[in-house]
């Protein structure tokens, strides 16, 4: 098996901390199941089953502790679902606190000051620890978008990485890993696979999101199959990628 080793590409001269930036290896797809919440229980289970059928054994569960700020979506009300998720033995990471703002915007953290960001990250991490039996390993914001203060808050809360756009900030060894493109799954407004397809044909490293609702639409999952069988991609979750370096 090839190693996941990375080549350091640049040391930004202006960056005081001199954080090295490295490209993730070609033909790597960092794969995650987004929006893991009791709100989508059946589709989460179906998506996990399909990924297992496709032979994808490493992927990240991106958990939302209080989807849409509704108590009816909290994990403590769904002990069987919580047990099921733990039984999968996969990486569990935090994916926002509520995922959306009260006004429905998906950019949860855009208008929040540092203090509120800190509180949400800590409270989200604690809720996951209490209901799913483990601290979340890292953090991926909704739509991969968040101001830089979110990465600071995630580091302060003791998590191991924070993704912003195509950069994975690793706090294990203070480096940034970069993918060439972001691949959003179907169902998110304003995104399409088309622009990412060329990158995939060329074998570029990507982040691939499967959303539970894709289970019905299947486009993302069909793409996983094609990337694996025809294009030779390897699939791995964020934690497993970082811990293999
Ligand atoms: Zn999401």
CA of 95 to the centre of ligand 1 (A): 7
Whole-number Å distance, alpha carbon 33 to ligand 1 midpoint, is: 9
Ligand 1 centroid from CA 34, angstroms: 5
- Domain residue limits at 60: 21-243
Domain contains 102:
yes
160 CA to centre of own chain: 13
In 49-166, DSSP assigns E strands to 60-63, 91-94, 161-164
Report how many domains make up the chain: 1
Q: What is the distance in A from the centroid of ligand 1 to the CA of 183?
A: 12
124: domain CATH number? 3.20.20.370
87 falls within a domain: yes
| Residue 1 domain-assigned (yes or no) | no
The reported pTM is 0.89
Contact (CB, 8 A) for 64 and 98: yes
Structural domain includes residue 4: no
Please report, in tens digits, the pLDDT of each residue of the chain (245 residues total): 344 444 444 444 455 557 889 999 999 999 999 999 999 999 999 999 999 999 999 999 999 999 999 999 999 999 999 999 999 999 999 999 999 877 777 778 888 899 999 999 999 999 999 999 999 999 999 888 899 999 999 999 999 999 999 999 999 988 999 998 666 665 554 455 666 777 788 899 999 988 887 666 667 888 899 999 999 999 999 999 999 98
CB within 8 Å of 14: residues ≥ 6 apart: none
User: For residue 69, what is the DSSP state?
Assistant: G
Q: Ligand 1 mean position to 64 CA, how many Å?
A: 8
Question: Is the residue at 113 inside a domain?
Answer: yes
Tell me the CA–centroid distance for residue 204 and ligand 1, in Å.
Answer: 23
104 alpha carbon – ligand 1 mean position (Å): 13
């Amino acid at each position: 098996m090839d190693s996941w080793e990375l080549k350091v590409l640049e040391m930004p001269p202006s960056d005081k901390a001199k954080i090295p930036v490295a490209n993730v290896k070609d033909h790597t797809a960092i794969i995650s199941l987004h929006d893991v919440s009791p709100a989508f229980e059946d589709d989460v289970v179906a998506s996990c089953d399909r990924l297992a059928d496709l032979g994808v054994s490493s992927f990240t569960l991106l958990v939302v502790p209080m989807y849409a700020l509704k108590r009816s979506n909290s994990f403590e009300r769904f002990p069987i679902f919580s047990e099921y998720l733990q039984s999968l033995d996969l990486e569990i990471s935090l994916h926002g606190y509520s995922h959306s703002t009260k006004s429905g915007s998906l950019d949860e953290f855009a208008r929040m000051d540092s203090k509120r960001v800190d509180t949400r990250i800590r409270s989200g991490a604690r809720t996951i620890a209490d209901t799913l039996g483990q601290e979340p390993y890292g953090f991926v914001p909704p739509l991969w978008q968040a101001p830089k203060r979110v990465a600071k808050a995630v580091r302060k809360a003791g998590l191991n990485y924070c993704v912003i756009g195509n950069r994975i900030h690793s706090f294990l060894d203070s480096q940034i890993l970069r993918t060439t493109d972001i691949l959003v799954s179907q169902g998110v407004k304003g995104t399409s696979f088309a622009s990412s397809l060329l990158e995939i044909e060329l074998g570029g490293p990507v982040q691939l999101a499967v959303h539970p609702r894709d289970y019905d639409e299947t486009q993302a999952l069909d793409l996983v199959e094609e990337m694996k069988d025809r294009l030779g991609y390897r699939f791995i979750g964020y934690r497993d990628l970082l811990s293999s370096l």
